[in-house]
Amino acid sequence: MNDRGNSGPAEPGSTHQRPGGSGADDPLRERLVSSEVLRRGRILEFRIDTVEAADGHRSTRDIAGHPGGVCVVALDPQDRVLLVRQWRHAIGGALLEIPAGTLDRAEDGSIEDHALAGARELEEETGSRASTWRYLGGFYTAPGFTSELMHLYLATDLTAVDEGGLAPDEDERLELRSVPFTEALAMAERGELQDAKTLVGLFLVARLRDAAET
């Protein structure tokens, strides 16, 4: 784990090891035979991949290609975690989540640096900036069908942004909640928080805190 202390988000081009990688000699490796792109959307690329296993058996995989995302556990000076409530059309309801967003893809195909994206999303969704950032790692959100790699940060030493700061995207409608960290954990344990990245972030930060106290 990398702790950048008070340095703020890393400069563009910073990299972290991609989790889950395996070599060409992995006996479970599937070789890509062909790929049929069905549709390219604003964020996702939908395709059907034909793959071949080591024993020669061929199968198809429905894939949603994704540029990746970033999420932030942001703690204010009162040890409250900043959560945003927003409507999720795919599930037909609203969820309470930590700030997060998709990495932007440039016209040349390059992907936005996740550290800079984390700072942007925090400001857009909560109206806050952080002077202390810690990268906690990356995890795949649903590797059975999408390549989305979510990067997780801990942001502390928060300050409110004055007028002129970044605002949510035009299609975002958000409600900001400041919840004591211990209460947010209790909500997660009671099953009141159902967003995966939020659960991962809260429980990992809680684990790090416990380890620091022992």
Residue 183: active-site member: no
Q: Is the dihedral of CA 31, 36, 40, 46 positive or negative?
A: negative
Q: Quick one: which of 207, 159, 156, 149 has its CA closest to 4?
A: 156
Residue 83's CB is within 10 A of a number of other CB atoms, namely 25
3-state SS assignment for residue 209: helix
Distance CA 133, CA 19 (A): 20
Distance CA 80, CA 95 (A): 18
Contact 204, 136 (CB under 8 A): yes
Angle of helix 196-213 versus helix 181-189 axis, rounded to 10: 120
- Which residue among the candidates 170, 172, 183, 192 is catalytic per the annotation? 170
Contact 73, 155 (CB under 8 A): yes
Distance CA 167, CA 177 (A): 16
Contact 154, 75 (CB under 8 A): yes
Q: Which amino acids are annotated catalytic?
A: 170
